[in-house]
């Protein structure tokens, strides 16, 4: 149903109809697949990259200025590219790695390339929040660097890391929708192909509703989880 033919209210009501959702639900499945797989990789690589950046920093546990500078520069390069451009740039990489440059898996490659550097910066700023004094206290007690990292730095900053990861997932979701217009499928594909090209605004509305709901849900869970830990520690 197009807004050019039908009144807004009717189009909106129709976006809840069965025939619309028969198209949206499989697309939602594809989107969730991409979001979940990408988020796992983003979490893994982002935490590792963010940690290495912090640890090799001037005040870090293993100061190494050249590595710190090189990693920072690489992250900045990826971060300066808009998501659309990263998707285009990563298409050949996806073809090289997966043998095809379209579909959900190819999209996951672009999502990782775009979101890992972003999340690494968030991890970095979360880890830098820890008071210098706590690390000093741990050192004064004769701790090894590994112990400081795993038993002090990560647990102390966990609530902030969770909030950062929540933000990262939200960005992954929005980027999945964007990748939909480059053959990735999912919600974004529905919105572009039906909502934009064919004026099927009921489908467009449905995709909007779905995206809002997912993002709300992710944000709600992330906030609740982070708050739960802060409450347990009596910090709020």
Partner 1 sequence: MEDCFIEVKGLWKTFHNKKESVPVLKGIDLEVKKGEIYGIVGFSGAGKSTLVRCINRLEEPDAGMVRIGDKIVTSLNKKELDLQRSKIGMIFQQFNLFDSMTVYENIAYPLRVKKWKKEDIHRRIDELLDLVGLADKKDAYPGQLSGGQKQRVGIARALANEPDVLLSDEATSALDPQTTVSVLDLIKEINQKLGLTIILITHELEVIRYTCSRVAVMENGELLEKGSVREIFENPQCETAKNFISVYNKLRSSGWDG
Binding-site ranges for partner 1 (CB under 8 A): 131, 133-134, 136-144, 147, 151-152, 155-156, 158, 232-235
Beta carbon of residue 141, minimum distance to partner 1 (angstroms, whole number): 4
Start-to-end CA span in the chain (Å): 49
> Do 199 and 212 form a contact (C-beta atoms < 8 A)?
no
Can you say how many angstroms the Cα of residue 211 is from the centroid of all Cα atoms in its chain? 14
Nearest alpha-carbon partner for 230 in 157, 123, 125, 177: 157
Beta carbon of residue 5, minimum distance to partner 1 (angstroms, whole number): 59
Nearer of residues 66 and 133 to partner 1, judged by Cβ: 133
| Cβ-based neighbours of 74, under 8 Å, separated by 6 or more | 117
> Do 187 and 24 form a contact (C-beta atoms < 8 A)?
yes
Beta carbon of residue 138, minimum distance to partner 1 (angstroms, whole number): 8
Beta carbon of residue 31, minimum distance to partner 1 (angstroms, whole number): 35
Beta carbon of residue 39, minimum distance to partner 1 (angstroms, whole number): 24
Beta carbon of residue 68, minimum distance to partner 1 (angstroms, whole number): 17
Nearer of residues 18 and 232 to partner 1, judged by Cβ: 232
Return left, alpha or beta for 103; rule: phi > 0 is left, psi -120 to 50 is alpha, else beta.
left
Q: What angle is formed at CA 208 by the lines to CA 214 and CA 15, rounded to 5 degrees?
A: 115
CA distance 28 to 191: 12
Nearer of residues 43 and 138 to partner 1, judged by Cβ: 138
Beta carbon of residue 152, minimum distance to partner 1 (angstroms, whole number): 6
Nearer of residues 5 and 233 to partner 1, judged by Cβ: 233
Three-class SS state of 225: helix
CA distance 178 to 172: 10
Nearer of residues 90 and 135 to partner 1, judged by Cβ: 135
Nearer of residues 147 and 198 to partner 1, judged by Cβ: 147
Nearer of residues 73 and 235 to partner 1, judged by Cβ: 235
Can you say how many angstroms the Cα of residue 91 is from the centroid of all Cα atoms in its chain? 19
Q: What angle is formed at CA 167 by the lines to CA 160 and CA 62, rounded to 5 degrees?
A: 50
């Amino acid at each position: 149903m197009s807004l050019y033919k039908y009144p807004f209210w009717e189009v909106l009501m129709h976006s809840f109809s069965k025939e619309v959702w028969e198209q949206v639900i499989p697309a939602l499945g594809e989107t969730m697949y991409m979001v979940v797989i990408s988020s796992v990789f983003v979490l893994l690589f982002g935490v590792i990259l963010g940690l290495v950046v912090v640890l090799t920093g001037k005040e870090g546990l293993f100061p190494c200025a050249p590595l710190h500078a090189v990693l920072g520069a690489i992250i900045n390069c990826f971060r300066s590219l808009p998501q659309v451009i990263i998707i285009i740039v990563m298409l050949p990489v996806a073809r090289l790695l997966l043998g095809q440059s379209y579909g959900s898996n190819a999209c996951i490659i672009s999502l990782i390339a775009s979101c890992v550097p972003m999340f690494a910066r968030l991890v970095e700023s979360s880890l830098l929040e820890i008071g210098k004094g706590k690390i000093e206290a741990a050192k004064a007690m004769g701790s090894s660097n590994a112990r400081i990292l795993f038993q002090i730095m990560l647990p102390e900053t966990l609530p902030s890391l969770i909030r950062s990861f929540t933000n990262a997932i939200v960005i992954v979701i929005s980027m999945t929708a964007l990748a939909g217009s480059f053959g990735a499928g999912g919600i974004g594909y529905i919105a572009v192909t039906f909502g934009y090209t064919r004026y099927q605004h009921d489908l467009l509305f449905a995709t909007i509703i779905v995206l809002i709901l997912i993002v709300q849900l992710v944000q709600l869970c992330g906030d609740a989880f982070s708050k739960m830990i802060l409450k347990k520690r009596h910090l709020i």
